[in-house]
Structure 1
């Protein structure tokens, strides 16, 4: 049985749609959900025509990570979970 406060990590890729380019969606994972976020790779052009993406490693409790992912889902951002698609 695991401790609910033990830290874990999860690697995801999230598509940032053009309407969120000017929003602090990544920093909210830290400030509102208490996660440590390591940006492993990113592509977000200066133009507002195309979507971008972030390859993120999230660290926190299981609950913090799930709440952070739920936040992205509320924004209707597409998420890829490394465990489902393997290493990229």
Structure 2
């Protein structure tokens, strides 16, 4: 009988402002996908953060998991797949970082994702 134990992935915070250069942002328009977890502070619960990823950054966003109550006084967590060009994804990550939203990422390879 095979073991069904799954190892929980270790998440590392990413820092898009430090990891992006102007050249890399402007040079790659190939479609790509990345999976991230974001922590939305309570003060932004009424803000359309995910909607802006779609409308302002032209991404396709798939919501895999979420933890946010209607009247929650705590932070909310979202597990998202972001699809778009590398430039669009980096722009969105910078937007989130500028909003002081914690961004956690496991991989840019969707085939490796086991959450």
Question: Scaled by the length of structure 2, what TM-score is found?
Answer: 0.69
Gaps of 5+ in 1: none
* Deviation (angstroms), 1:46: 1.5
**Could you list the runs of 4 or more consecutive aligned residues of structure 1 that deviate by over 3 angstroms after TM superposition?**
none
The C-alpha deviation readout for 1:34-78, integer Å capped at 9, x for no partner, is: 100000110111224111111000000001000000000000011
Question: Scaled by the length of structure 1, what TM-score is found?
Answer: 0.89
In our comparison, the structure showing a higher alpha carbon Rg is 2
RMSD: 1.7
Aligned residues: 85
Structure 2 counterpart of 1:82, from 106, 111, 114: 106
